[in-house]
Amino acid sequence: MRYELFIALRHIRARKRQTILSVAAIGIAVMILMVSQSFMAGFTQELYSKTVDNLPHVVVSPQDGDDYIHLYRNIVEKINDIDGVVASSPYLIGEASFKYKDNTKNAALKGILPAQEDAVAHTKDDIVAGNYDELTYSDRSIIIGDTFAEDMELDIGDSVEVSFPNANPVSLKVVAIYDTGTALDESLTYTSLNTAQDFYDSEDVINGISLRLKDFNRDREIAQIIEDNGYKADGWTVNNPEILRTIAIETVSNNVTLGFILLIASFGVVSTLNMVVMGKVREIGILLAMGATKSNIRFIFLVESGILGLAGAVLGTAAGIALALSIGSYPLPEGVYGLEVIPVVVRIGDVLTIITIVFLLNLIAGIYPAQRAASLDPVEAISTR
């Protein structure tokens, strides 16, 4: 064992109360950081699963100046051959007016191929009543949101009148009701692609293609590949920038707050080491007189700072993980933000990053007291009483 490490450990053991307080201050700060990071990762994952996972990752739309995409089957075939695209769903969407008894409402009518749409947006998982697959083989049928159904007083089996200027009026039978927990529940309805084409009198055309990717983070890359082939495409990060903005704002504010907490805790180490330097002036002078270099003295106190920081980081991380997992297992009251439990995700990368940053931060915090100790004059230090 190098004598610098031996002396550093002796200093730490000799001042047990200050050591415990310093390690505890760092540990509490790291625990708060670990819990917050676990919650942040959990809520981010939950946000992605509730939004991005159910959104089309890329949307292909008509070229500027065109209302429709013609010969879409050839386009869909080419797009499906792109590496990273796992599913595609052509659709025709437009505005429509709905009437049932004395109730009227305007909403979007989206014509889809049910199997393809489910592969892209998991629409079948949101069905709370009726049969989603009936849209495939039942002519003149419609799927509506639960809020839409409540507003219109509609139920499974009812027929709703659909009309719009320059469209062919039609009566559609409600075969299923969905619930996404979003505004779409009152503003979007589904019918078969053929029914929508007949209603809008648009022949065999569409006005959009939804894509699902193996990795949703490649949305801009895939969209650019499609554009390079002559079609207009946008990724979900372009169509839904508010999702990224929300995560970015929360992450920045969270990290700034926790950064200040860590800085405050690190000052505890500086204070402890300063007290050690003040109490060990004579001993430092003797070491210098015996041949220890200023670098050796500086290294002793940097080692002390690193040991305190590492101990606090490890203990705080362990406590933070245990606390986060225990909170995450606690069930929430039914209906709170649509969650059953608080989402918690503990990532090994976060754990290692936090320990490393805290360790380095405390090494930096130890530079001042280490430099102060190394700059003592041996003669003056030895004569100090």
The string of pLDDT tens digits covering residues 295-354 is 887 888 788 888 888 888 899 899 999 998 888 777 777 655 666 778 888 889 888 888
pLDDT-derived band at 359 (thresholds 50, 70, 90) equals: confident
Measure the CA–CA gap between 198 and 311, rounded to whole angstroms: 71
The listed range with the strongest mean pLDDT (12-16, 127-131, 260-264) is 127-131
Residue of 231, 258, 247 whose CA lies nearest to 361: 258
- 385 pLDDT higher than 60: no
pTM of this prediction exceeds 0.75: no
Between 230 and 275, name the one with better pLDDT.
230
Neighbour tally for 310: CB within 10 Å: 18
Q: Looking at the predicted structure, is the pLDDT value of residue 2 above 80?
A: no
Residue 362, SS3 per DSSP: helix
Residue 89 pLDDT > 80 = yes
Q: In this structure, which amino acid lies at residue 366?
A: G
Which pairs with CB-CB distance under 8 Å and at least 24 residues apart come from 69-73?
69/205, 69/206, 69/207, 69/208, 69/209, 70/205, 72/205, 72/206, 72/209
- Average pLDDT taken over every residue of the chain: 84
Q: How confident is the model at residue 369 (pLDDT cuts 50, 70, 90)?
A: confident
Q: pLDDT (tens digit, 9 = 90+) per residue, 198-257?
A: 999 888 899 999 999 998 889 999 999 998 888 889 988 888 887 778 777 777 877 777
- The whole-number pLDDT of residue 111 equals 93
Inter-residue contact 205 to 93 (CB < 8 Å): no
pLDDT average, residue stretch 187-201 = 93
Q: Which spans in 122-218 are helix H? A: 134-137, 146-152, 184-187, 193-199
